[in-house]
């Protein structure tokens, strides 16, 4: 609670004082608040980065443990891809990628995705780039 005490001191220092001394005291108090805000921002960013790293590690362990289930079950595969997209990880990347080795996806799926996008872009004038699945 030391940051709360510092904030209280800063706010108390901002009470209106007359003259140049009051203006200087307010400037010092505002500077202290900015420093405290920056410190909190940096601490929150470090915590968030640590949490994302832990989540990514757990996601990798999940992929190794449930590789066959992910490949067999389309619903689980879709949910897994949503989790990967949240982290910015592409499990369908080429064979050189870590996720491709874990899940067995590789150049075939990458090439298929590229071809699908090319077809959608080429037919964009006719159907808006959307095609029915059959």
First-to-last CA distance in the chain?
Answer: 61
Over the stretch 13-23, which tens digit does the pLDDT of each residue have?
A: 555 666 787 77
Over the stretch 67-90, which tens digit does the pLDDT of each residue have?
A: 888 777 878 877 887 777 777 666
Pair (43, 96) in one structural domain:
no
- In the chain, which stretches have pLDDT less than 70? 1-18, 88-112, 114, 134
In terms of Cα–Cα distance, which of 123, 69, 67 is closest to 91? 67
- Alpha-carbon distance of 103 to 63, in angstroms, equals 7
pLDDT score for 42: 93
Percent of the chain with pLDDT over 70: 66
User: Which one-letter DSSP state was computed for residue 87?
Assistant: H
Number of domains in the chain: 2
Q: 89 φ, ψ to 5°?
A: -100, 135
Pair (94, 119) in one structural domain:
yes
pLDDT score for 94: 42
Cβ neighbours around 100 below 10 Å, total: 19
Pair (41, 87) in one structural domain:
no
Pair (54, 80) in one structural domain:
no
> CA neighbours within 13 Å on the CB side: how many for 53?
6
pTM: 0.47
The boundaries of the domain holding residue 52 are 1-65
pLDDT score for 116: 78
Residue with tokens 């990347």: 93
Q: Which of 10, 35, 65 is the last residue of a domain?
A: 65
């Amino acid at each position: 609670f030391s940051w709360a005490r510092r904030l209280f001191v800063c706010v108390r220092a901002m009470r209106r004082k007359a003259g140049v001394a009051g203006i200087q005291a307010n400037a010092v108090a505002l500077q202290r608040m900015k420093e405290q805000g920056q410190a909190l921002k940096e601490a929150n960013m470090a915590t968030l980065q640590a949490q994302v790293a832990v989540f990514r590690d757990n996601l990798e362990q999940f992929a190794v443990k449930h590789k066959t289930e992910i490949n067999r079950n389309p619903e689980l595969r879709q949910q897994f891809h949503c989790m990967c997209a949240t982290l910015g990880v592409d499990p369908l990347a080429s064979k050189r990628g870590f996720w491709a080795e874990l899940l067995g996806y590789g150049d075939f799926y990458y090439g298929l995705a590229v071809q699908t996008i090319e077809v959608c872009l080429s037919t964009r004038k006719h159907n808006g780039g959307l095609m029915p699945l059959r």
